[in-house]
Amino acid sequence: MPIGAVSPLLPCISSLPLHPVLTLCAAPYPLLPQCERKAEVIERIQGLDIETQTVLASAIQDVRTPAVGTTFPSAPCGWVPPDEPPRDSHQWHPIGQHQVALAQMQGLEELWGMAGEARLAGLYRDELDAMREKAARAERLQGELSALRERLPALERCRGRLEEEQAFSQALLDSKTQLEGQLESARARAQHLPQLEKENLQLRSQLEQVEEERERERQQLEELQQEKVLLEGMLRQNLGESQHLSWEEEQEPNEIPKSLSYEVTEVTSSRLLALERENQELRRRLQEALEAPGEPRSPGLEQKNKALSKERLGAELEAQRARSSQEREELSAALLVEKEQLERELRSLQEQRHCEVGHGARGRGQGKVCKELSFGAVEGRCRGKAEQQEALAESGRRLCQVEERASSLQEALLRLEATHAKALEGLTASQEARGRLEQELLRLRQELEQQRLEALLLGQLEAEVQVLEKEREALQAELSQAERELAEARGSLEAERQRAGRQAEQAREATEELRASERELGTLQRGLEQHKAALTQLEGERGALEAVLSQAERERRVLDKEIRRLRAQTQAQEEALAEQGHRAAQLEAQSRLQALELGGLRETAQRLQELEQESKGLREQLAAEQSCLFLQELLSEKVKGQEREADLLRLREQLERREEEQRLLEEQQGTQQSQYQSLEQRLESSFREMLTLKEEKIGTLRSRVEELLILNQHLGKELRQVRHHPQRAMEQGQGNPEPVPGLRAEPESDTLSKHLIEVERSNAALLAEKEALMGRLGQLESQLGALQGELLSLQGQSGGLREESGRLQAQCGALQVEQAALLSQKAALEARASELRERLAGLEAEVRVARQERDEWRGRHEGLVRNHDKLALLHERQGTELEGLLGKQASLKGALRALEQEHRALQDSEGSGGQDRGQCVGFPSESPTELLAPHRVQAALAAAEQAQEEQQGELRGLRGRLTGLQLEQARLEAEGTALREQNHQLEVALGRIGDQCELLAQLKGNQEEENRHLLQEIQKLSQENRSLLERSIESREQYHSEQRQHLDKLNELRREKQKLVEKIMDQYRVLEPALPKSK
């Protein structure tokens, strides 16, 4: 209960005795132990504001203070009900007053309760209205939230689409940049192509120069061979002269067996032979280096390599020629000097021989002179031996020099071989680079062709990119707008959420207040059980009011729905009315324009018929031409496909053959390598055995030479002793004056002569053995040098063969790679051919569908043209009928007017006839036809009106039919425009199909060019394979020929060895009988 309602009544209540309940309620808190609802009252008072609590406390104090002075004698602590009878009669009057006061209080309390209930009902109604508004607002917010939530996925999809479009546009831009970069790189490569062609021409000119230089070198080699023949002739002459001199020396019996000149000639001849062999070996290696297999394809590197090799070989050949010329001059000078010495010795020996022959018959008295002469000869021979030893030392030095020169030449040859190998590697690298450049050129050509096609497509792509950019911009604008709308919606949602939060808080506070009020109501209901009737009435009223309110709310909702529906209906009706008005305006405009367009339509119909006939002819021609072209293209494609299949089969067979040939080559190479390895092992083993044998022989020869030198020294000592003994004997003979008997002198001379003869024999044998051993040593050294040279040549050949085998293996690997590339290209071509076949099948299906659609649209167009012609004829007939009806209507209107005039005239005549009726009565003899004339006129007028109405109905029907015909004409025109659009679309589709056919033809041409390039590459590869096979066969034949030559040389060396052994044996045989003759 509000305090405002309680405060005005406090003075009245203070003058009256209190109700027990009020006294209990007004009592302080410690005085309420007997109250049953004390806790509820306390909670209710505590739930009020502080001000209300203070006001209640003051009111309770005001009520309590007057109540203290009132006394209740019979019931001081309780309340006596009115039903009980009074105990004392003198107390009845105050009790009645109390009852009256209580009745007044009850009435006041009821009034207060009613007022409070009314106020609470008003408050509750206001709160209910507020809650309903809040609920409606919450429903609206939930609806908006649900709508926004429903729009969120669409916006997310739009955002995803926009992101996809952005990514697609970015990808298109990236592809555009990549294509531009590829185009720029292709342009740069195309710009480099003329430079490469110029370099190719320069390289070809350099190749021609190298060929010319090679021809010059061949001429120089021929000149060197001629010089070689001349030198061999000169050597043979020198050898013949030396043999002749040795033969003359052998014919002389008392001559020295082999002089210094013979040894010098032998040494020089052996040196010349060794130098000639080295010269031959160098020339052979030079020729091999010049005629090495696997000529390079890169002319620049070949020219450099050849120039370097020529310069080095020319310098070495010039140095060798200078050295050989110097040595020849030195040897010729030494030979001349030795020849002069030999001539002098021969003359001296001839003089000695003549002296010995002339004085041989003298007696023993001249023995001393012979002995002296023999001693002089021995001394001369000893001197000759010393000279021979010096000459041998010089020859050894020269041999050492020659060996050093040979080693330096071998080192130079090794360097040349290393440079040659490097040059070959550079040439192989240049060949590979050239192959790569050729592949790059082919790839560049293919890329140029592809880029030409791509350049044609770039325009379309750019147009599509522009369209996509426009769409992207539109989508971005929509996205930005959607984002703005989203932001606004989110802002509004946030605001609504905040507002809803605030409203929810308010609702919570209201609910709490409602709960508190419900509690208060409960307490009031419990505390005011006595007011149940009023409360029930109020509740009934409240229920009625709530029902009325709910009904009013329902009606309001229904009205809102109806208002919305009516608004939607009104909007739809307004839109429909606007559309109808627009359509009516359009129909009026069309009806106005149709009259103008009828003539144009007739003309256009005629033109359309003509154009249709022309288009029919053109379409038939185009269909025939396209069918012929497609049939020709299909036939050509089939033929080309068969040719390609045949080419593929042929290529497969060629590839299989090449694989078999490669397998055979690999097997042959393996067998050749095994043979090479076995031959190398055999040669190495034979060479090692020969070296060991030669070393053993050299060791034995050296030991024998040392033994011979020791013997020679011993003999020299003996000779010196023998030479000193006759001097001592002479001294002893001069010192002893007694004559020596002749018997002692003769045996001493005989023993001396025998001893001298034995010494000479042994000396001669030793000299012969020494010369033979030295010759044999020189031969063995020459053989050793030749074998070393052959071994080096064989090693070089084996290295060359290994390099060639490696090169062949590399070429086989390259061929396998090319084979794999060709197989991949073949697979790509087959896939492309299948794609082209599928595209052709798809295009044929599209052409068939387009033809069917074209026939259908042609039939439809013809039907529409027929309908249009029929409608035009019907329109003309109806126009003529309309004109006739209008004429009839005009005539009927004229007749109607005439009849109206007659009717008026008749009415006038009737009016005048009414006046003259009396006069007419007196004339019974008038005809009834004259009396029936106005009836006839009226009947005619009625019939005319009826006919007019019928004509008007027919006119309305004709107007309706005219409008229907106009609508039909508009429909037909719309169908005609649709047919024109479809015809245009068909023409566009035919144009696209034509463009696709052109693209297919271009692709076909490109594929044919690629096939030609592939065939050319296959032919080149087959030619290279054949050339490689020929080279391998030539190298094999060359190897076999060189092996045969090597075996022939070995056989020749063996024969020469046998001949030398036979010569040595012959010399021993010649020397053996010469020794007893000298005895």
Residue 66: the pLDDT is 43
Environment class of residue 789 by beta-carbon count within 10 Å: exposed (0-12), middle (13-18) or buried (19+)?
buried
Rounded Cα gap, residues 811 and 1025, in angstroms: 9
Domain count, the chain: 1
Rounded Cα gap, residues 436 and 424, in angstroms: 18
Residue 267 domain flag: yes
Buried b (16+ CB within 10 A) or exposed e, 726-737: beeeeeeeeeee
Q: Is 1044 within 8 Å of 677 (Cβ atoms)?
A: no
Name the amino acid, one letter, at 27.
Answer: A
HSE at residue 916, side-chain half, CA atoms within 13 A, is 8
Name the region of 294 (left: φ>0; alpha: ψ -120 to 50; beta: rest). Answer: left
If one counts every other C-beta atom within 10 angstroms of the C-beta of residue 165, the result is 18
Tokens of 1040: 């076999």
Q: Is 527 within 8 Å of 37 (Cβ atoms)?
A: yes
Residue 11: the pLDDT is 39
Residue 230 domain flag: yes
Rounded Cα gap, residues 63 and 10, in angstroms: 7
Query: What is the chain's alpha carbon radius of gyration, rounded to the nearest angstrom?
Result: 74
For residue 276, what are the contacts with CB-CB under 8 A and spacing of at least 6? 228, 231, 232, 235
HSE at residue 284, side-chain half, CA atoms within 13 A, is 15
3-class state of residue 923 by DSSP: coil
Residue 926 domain flag: no
Q: Is 1045 within 8 Å of 790 (Cβ atoms)?
A: no
3-class state of residue 66 by DSSP: helix
Q: What angle do CA 356, 359, 362 make, to 5 degrees?
A: 130
HSE at residue 1034, side-chain half, CA atoms within 13 A, is 11
Q: Which DSSP category does 486 fall into?
A: H
Tokens of 884: 């006739």
Residue 389 domain flag: yes
CA distances from residue 1025 to 663, 669, 812, 1018, 1032 in whole angstroms, order as listed: 13, 15, 9, 10, 10
Taking the chain, what is the end-to-end CA distance rounded to the nearest angstrom? 186
Q: What long-range pairs does 666-670 form, CB within 8 A, spacing at least 24?
A: 666/812, 668/1032, 668/1036, 669/805, 669/808, 669/809
Tokens of 849: 């569908």
Instruction: Name the residue range of residue 334's domain.
Output: 224-302+315-352+375-452
Residue 772 has phi, psi (to 5 degrees) of: -65, -45
Residue 420 domain flag: yes
Rounded Cα gap, residues 50 and 60, in angstroms: 15
Q: What angle do CA 839, 841, 845 make, to 5 degrees?
A: 115
Tokens of 129: 């209205």
Rounded Cα gap, residues 627 and 227, in angstroms: 83
For residue 794, what are the contacts with CB-CB under 8 A and spacing of at least 6? 680, 683, 1046
Residue 1074 domain flag: no
Residue 331 domain flag: yes
Q: Single out the residue of 43, 21, 60 nearest to residue 527, CA to CA.
A: 21
Q: What HEC string does 596-660 produce?
A: HHHHHHHHHHHHHHHHHHHHHHHHHHHHHHHHHHHHHHHHHHHHHHHHHHHHHHHHHHHHHHHHH
Residue 295 has phi, psi (to 5 degrees) of: -65, 145
Strand ranges (E), 181-322: none
Residue 289 domain flag: yes
Q: Single out the residue of 715, 714, 717, 749 nearest to residue 730, CA to CA.
A: 749
Rounded (10°) angle between helices 299-358 and 367-527 = 160
User: Please, what are the averages of pLDDT over each run of 10 residues along the chain (1079 residues)?
Assistant: 42 40 39 55 73 72 49 38 42 64 78 78 77 79 79 78 77 77 76 76 78 79 76 70 56 46 59 68 66 47 57 62 65 66 67 57 48 51 60 63 63 67 67 71 72 68 70 72 72 72 72 71 64 64 69 72 72 69 66 64 67 71 70 73 75 76 75 69 71 73 72 70 56 44 48 66 71 74 73 71 72 73 76 77 78 78 78 77 77 76 75 57 44 62 75 76 77 79 78 78 79 80 80 80 82 83 77 53
